[in-house]
Structure 1
Amino acid sequence: MGVTNSNKVINTDRMLCDGALRVTLALTAAPDIVSNPTDIVLVLDRSGSMTGSPLANLKLGANTFIDLIDEATDSTKDGQIGSGSRMGVVSFSSTAVANTQLITSVDALKAAVDGLSAGGSTNHADAFAKATQLFDPASPNAKVMVLFTDGNTTIGAPPAPVAAAARAQGIIIYCIGLIGSDGLDISALNDWATDPDASHVAVTPDAADLEELFAELAANISKPGATDIVIDEVVNPDFVITSISSPTKGSATMLDAHSLRWNIAQLGVTASESATLDFFIRHVGQQPGTKLVNESITYSDQEGNVVSFPKPTVSVECDIVVHPEPCPEPVDLTVEGCQDSVLVDLGDVYLGSQGRIIQMDVTIQNVCPGKRVALAAILTEVDQDGMEHQRGMKAFTIPAHSAPVCRDVLVKCIKFVVPEDLNVSGTAMCSPRKFKARFLANNIDTDYRCCESTITL
């Protein structure tokens, strides 16, 4: 079968500017179908949400899959599934029906697919049950179920136990998901499919991708597994690779901060087999936005399998930082050669006030683009009787930002110099002191425009 599935997933779709995430690469390969006959059941969703282009694209993908299996089993598109393999079609909406048994006629299989019409609810449990009934437990053929769906379960029994029972009978389950108008529970697909999830589940939001997903699953069926596998991964320059876990097969090496190589000697040569690799990356860029995780990923093996990996993206959120008060200018200082002591005149330092310095940061939440904000900081000191004493107030104008959406703004380094007041601060210098800080923030700018009035006499 060659490489039957490849996937790349990340463990989150949102992260902070200095955040990290886990990336999982997955690969599944299986022996040549010619020497390892396989019974395959296509389980196809024909619920009401499939009306129109989703159903048309599904038919195109399923028929492409049938053609590729036809050619893989006997090296020619002769209209017959050969070498002892068979294929069947089950479709489902509110209930499931076996449109064919396990047969070898390509015309009959395509006629079953082309005859599907959309309507009704979604009963995944009945779909798994009907598909499982098509397999002969006494047959030595490998057993594969390919389930396609575009939505969540809306009727019938819970499908997870039915899928688990099918897997317990040795049936390999692949799930292809289309994110339809009612959404799609990807975690449910992961639960139904054979492990590892990343190698047996493929999801797309675009019905036009269905032919490619079905073709990718079938295109490598004529290949005898895969040997001398090399996968080179290069992450986006805004990320660095921080660590690599030991893969379940083969070995992985970090080439530099942005790239790694995964080598597998052989996979799926004698039986269907999966391999996964986890590695961790950290965002080091300074700009927010939706970013591709990988810059490129390439695959090669001795058999010439054609393999592509998804291109996941992550939304990166970076704080907007404002410094309303500049830091003091530094004075350059140089120590020459092997001097073990140095005396330098660094000029004058002007005394601003006696007392301690309190420096505060505050985040203004939900500041919309193009809006300046007036920020006031009020500091009081609390004496031993709980009375508050004014220690100062500062007001700032926070400049408008140009981010595309409302977001939080971090204001840093608001400084107060507070004198020692023995009547308030304590009976001795450097006693512990209690303070309270309050912040007020209001928009300066508004979208309000006064309506122009016209007076007619």
Structure 2
Amino acid sequence: MGITNSNKVINMERIDCDGSLKVTLALTAAPDIVTNPTDIALVLDRSGSMTGEPLASMKTGAKTFIDIISESTGGQASGEIGSGSRIGIVSFSSTAVQDTQLITSVATLKNAVDALSAGGSTNHADAFTKAISLFDPSSSNAKVIVMFTDGNTTAGAPPAPVAAAARAQGIIIYCIGLVGSDGVDVGVLNDWASDPAATHVAVTPDTADLEELFAELAANISKTGATNIVINEKVTDDFVVTSVLNPTVGSATMLNSTSLRWTIPELGVSAPESATLEFYVRHVGQNPGTKLVNESITYSDTEGNVVDFPEPAVAVECDVVVNPEECPLPVDLTIQSCSDAVVVDTGDVYLESMGTILQMDVTVKNVCPQKRVALAVILTEVDENGTEYQRGTKAVTIPAHSYPSCRDVLVKCIKFVVPKDLDVSGGSTQTMCSPRQFKARFIAHNIDSDYRCCESVLTL
């Protein structure tokens, strides 16, 4: 009812210790008629007192009613009433006629309304009887009668017992009254309609108000999806919210580094509607593991919908990171305020040859605690014939870690300088930026070991 779907997803299954991920909140709401298909008998007064402007205004209102029901059931694009709901037209004067059966074609329903002409007396009992007979008792659809009239009963049997019998069968009755030439008894309409009368009866003396009354009634029948939605999201202490994007519906505000609020004035009020909010979080905790992203999320709306969001979790891997080579020391520069230009002597940089700096990362798998690791990197360059040429070797000591179990160790930024004058990719005819082929080989082993050679003397 109201909110038909809620979801919360993240775009990553695994992140590094300082990694970020996107969180998406989603809601879908729909008028109640979408999840509870409804059969509606639209009963229209065409007695003689409706001649002229009243009849024209009623037709406009009735067609607006049909359009709103079609839109709220998701069938507007196809020209059909969707989601299993149907409308039938009954008109009455001295007697009542079923102008259509319960159907879904918007065009057919509107044509039936447009074909009505005024004349004769007012037989409400026969109108209720013909409306009741439209419904299939075996159907699970909700059943609604919308009675429009501009006057009191002047023909036929008393209508109140017929209306009471309809209500006893579970049929909901709405009444719209136009104060016509012979008046409308509001008390009688209240007696016919379902309780409470305040939401099931509407009366106006002005034909100009009819379209609005029909529209409001259609919205009442289709019911509101959700209004005044407030969602409060708080992420766990291991994460911080870094940015919040504009949602597709409503507005979102960061309350602090770990919480935000999403508000939506209305969703799915007149037609099925979805809304999404995307925001980014970053892991700031120090420990690895599978972690829930949100600590809590609360939902509220005016209609009292109960909404549960999933609780996605992400695997966080806090690998040991070693930087065997520091970056060059920076040169500090200061520019005074209002200076248009500055000249600074930043020292000497010796350019020995043109070339390339190769920078590589490598992950050493399953390094056990309290053991240093020796890592060697051998770089060769390959010419067009497949011959390899040495371009350098580096040896790195990876410090021991103190985690309780074996860990993967990420070794970052291993640099090799390969000058242009060592290029064997194609000789001097190649351009400065011609491709060069390299091969890197890695060797790693534990430095610390409890292995000892056998020192005992074997005596035979």
TM-score, normalising length from structure 2? 0.45
TM-score, normalising length from structure 1? 0.45
Computing the radius of gyration from Cα coordinates, the structure with the larger value is 2
